[in-house]
């Protein structure tokens, strides 16, 4: 198999472990967009779409990922929360990506809204996920969309 994550599990490629148990491995991303980005994988190879996993595998993956996220929260001084993303278009081996959210420690202690200045609406996937809000949509449009999703 030519899977980079399987090669890491088999110790064929250098990687930097944050946490590990018999079923899962968490390591620092080789290509982080912020300090401490961590990738969490099952040691067994599964295709990259997390919502196709058996419920027990997905639940166990999320539980292990939570432990790693809390470890990141406690390690970095100004991180109050760590974001988790299941996206899976970079490597076809299911994985959670953890992003330490710097500047959130005080917001976590005393909750406060943190707004984004990003003003972009996605018509199609551009290779990254953003959690910012955009412009409010008409309630009639949302009601129609919700009804169509429910009925199909």
Residue 141 phi, psi (nearest 5)? -60, -40
Q: What local confidence, expressed as pLDDT, does residue 6 receive?
A: 97
**Residue with tokens 């200045």, as numbered in its chain:** 117
User: Which contacts of 134-143 are long-range, i.e. CB under 8 A and separated by 24 or more positions?
Assistant: none
CA 97/CA 139 separation, integer angstroms: 33
Closest by CA position to 41, among listed 98, 96, 114, 100: 96
Average pLDDT (46-50) is 97
Homologous superfamily in CATH for domain 4-112? HIT-like (3.30.428.10)
Record the tokens describing residue 81, joined without a space.
């929360």
Q: What local confidence, expressed as pLDDT, does residue 109 receive?
A: 76
Q: What local confidence, expressed as pLDDT, does residue 110 receive?
A: 82
Domain boundaries, the chain: 4-112
Q: What is the pLDDT of residues 96-138, one digit of tens each?
A: 999 999 999 887 778 888 888 999 999 998 998 888 889 999 9
Record the tokens describing residue 90, joined without a space.
């970079």
Its pTM stands at 0.91
Q: What local confidence, expressed as pLDDT, does residue 46 receive?
A: 98
């Amino acid at each position: 198999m030519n899977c980079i994550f399987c090669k890491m599990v088999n110790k064929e490629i250098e990687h930097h472990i944050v946490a590990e148990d018999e079923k899962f491995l968490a390591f620092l991303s080789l290509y982080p967009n912020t300090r401490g980005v961590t990738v969490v994988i099952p040691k067994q190879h599964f295709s990259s779409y997390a919502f196709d996993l058996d419920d027990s595998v997905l639940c166990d993956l999320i539980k292990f990922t939570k432990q790693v996220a809390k470890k990141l929260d406690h390690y970095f001084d100004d991180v109050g929360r760590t974001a988790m993303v299941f996206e899976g278009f970079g490597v076809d081996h299911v994985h959670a990506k953890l992003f330490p959210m710097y500047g959130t420690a005080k917001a976590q202690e005393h909750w406060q809204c943190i707004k984004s200045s990003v003003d972009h609406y996605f018509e199609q996937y551009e290779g990254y996920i953003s959690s910012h809000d955009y412009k409010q949509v008409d309630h009639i449009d949302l009601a129609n969309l919700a009804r169509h999703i429910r009925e199909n």
